[in-house]
Structure 1
Amino acid sequence: MGLHVESRPSDSPYVDRVWRSRSSDVARMMSVAAARWDLVFWEHRGQVSAAVQGPETLARPAPVPEEATFFGITFSLGTLMPHLPIDRLVNGSAAIPDPTARSFWLKGSTWHVPGYDDAEAFVARLAREDVLARDPVVAAALDGGRPDLSERTLQRRFLAATGLTRGAVRQIDRARQAAILLQEGRPAQDVVHRLGYFDQPHLSRSLTRYIGRTATRLAGPQPLAEPLSLLYKT
């Protein structure tokens, strides 16, 4: 009963994570904030759907189709589809028209629907066909490098590649990390010190905004009626 999620990390520079899930006797979930975008496929009552899901800057309730299966690829920061400007996808999505269980249409070509175990091969082909790109400046900055650019230029490149500012990405990722630590049983005060929040009210405001849960609720049993969406260590 609920939303059953399985995910794994990826060794592809384009991919952050690959995931799949299925719903059972649940009508709604809390979709937590996410700094990365996804390519998602789902099947419900024999109907196949697909979409590019943009970054989410707030937690918000979302409907869950009954007895549906989902498969998604979460792309790394700095990876983008140039023909779909990422700033237009923030807090939104772009539906892929008329997909089937075996194929879908993207940027003027037909593609086989990937699976959980071969997602990286599919992504590599997207990159070879120039459907995907990766901004090396953003990737270097995220890896701790110091690109030879002004701060203003770097911020502009970061925003163009991710749809978000570096500050927004840090805040979202920190809130997700805090939620995981609290679910693992860490005391809220320890989380405050470990992740650099000013105090517990600061932590509480961040969790409410980005996760849709208070620290107390995260530390206790998760309600089956409204489970959290994919939450993993970034």
Structure 2
Amino acid sequence: MGLEVESRPSDSPYIERVWRSRSDGVDQMMAVAAARWDLVFWEHRGQVSVAVVGPETKAGHAPVPEESMFFGISFSIGTSMPHLPVNRLVDDVAEIPDATRRSFWLKGSSWRLPDYDNAEAFVRRMVREDVLALDPVVAAVLRGATPDVSERTLQRRFVAATGLTRGAIRQIDRARQAAVLIQGGTPVHEVIHLLGYFDQPHLARSLTRYVGRTATQLLGHRDPQKPLSLLYKA
């Protein structure tokens, strides 16, 4: 009973993570803040739905349809669909209408529903048909490179490609990493040192805002009635 989640990394530069889940006896979850956007497919009582879920700047409660199956592609930072700008989807969801068990419409074309095992092939088609783009400057910065553009230009490109500033992305990703470490048994004082928090109150504020749990709650018994959304070691 609860929310069963499985995920895997990808070798595609456009994909951060591929995931799937099933709900059973749970109607709400804590959606953890995320700097990336997702394309999500789910089936509930025979009805298939598709939506683009934008970046989320803080944790919050989210409904979970009873006994539903979900599949999603979490896209890498800097990846976007130019016809549906991600900076308009921050803390928002855009539903894609007229989905069936076999197909859905995207940018005027019919697309077969992807699944957990063929997500990369689906994304390759998105790239071929200019539905998906990756900002090379943003991608280079995230790899540690120093591009030959001004700081102002760089910030503008980050916001255009991600909907968020670099600072916001760092804060969200750091809190997510802290939660993974704490759940894995890393002592709180080590997490503070490893991730550059000032002190324990600083970490506590970050976890509360971005994860919706305190360190004590992350270490304690997990509530199957209100589980966390996808968290993983980067």
Pairwise same-fold verdict (TM > 0.5): yes
Residues 146-167 of structure 1, C-alpha deviations (whole Å, 9 max, x = no match): 1100000001001100110000
Map of 1:1-234 to 2, 5 A cutoff?
A: 1-234=1-234
2:110 aligns to what SS in structure 1? strand
2:40 aligns to what SS in structure 1? strand
How big is the shift at 1:206?
0.1
Cα distance in structure 2, aligned partners of 1:101 and 1:71:
13
Residues 65-101 of structure 1, C-alpha deviations (whole Å, 9 max, x = no match): 1100000000000000000011110000110001001
| Consecutive aligned runs of 4 or more in structure 1 exceeding 2 Å deviation | none
1:158 aligns to what SS in structure 2? helix
Letter of the structure 2 residue corresponding to residue 179 of structure 1 = A
Cα distance in structure 2, aligned partners of 1:224 and 1:94:
28
How big is the shift at 1:233?
1.8
Cα distance in structure 1, aligned partners of 2:233 and 2:156:
27
How big is the shift at 1:185?
1.0
Cα distance in structure 2, aligned partners of 1:166 and 1:184:
27
2:82 aligns to what SS in structure 1? coil
Gaps of 5+ in 2: none
Gaps of 5+ in 1: none
Cα distance in structure 2, aligned partners of 1:27 and 1:149:
47
Cα distance in structure 2, aligned partners of 1:228 and 1:152:
36
Residues 142-194 of structure 1, C-alpha deviations (whole Å, 9 max, x = no match): 11111100000001001100110000000000000000111011111111011
Letter of the structure 2 residue corresponding to residue 40 of structure 1 = V
1:99 aligns to what SS in structure 2? coil
Cα distance in structure 1, aligned partners of 2:16 and 2:184:
22
* C-alpha RMSD of the superposition: 0.5
Cα distance in structure 1, aligned partners of 2:187 and 2:145:
33
Cα distance in structure 1, aligned partners of 2:190 and 2:220:
17
Cα distance in structure 2, aligned partners of 1:87 and 1:18:
22
Q: Across the two proteins, how many residue pairs are aligned to each other?
A: 234
2:228 aligns to what SS in structure 1? coil
TM-score (norm: length of structure 2)? 0.99
TM-score (norm: length of structure 1)? 0.99
* Aligned-pair identity (%): 74
Letter of the structure 2 residue corresponding to residue 192 of structure 1 = I
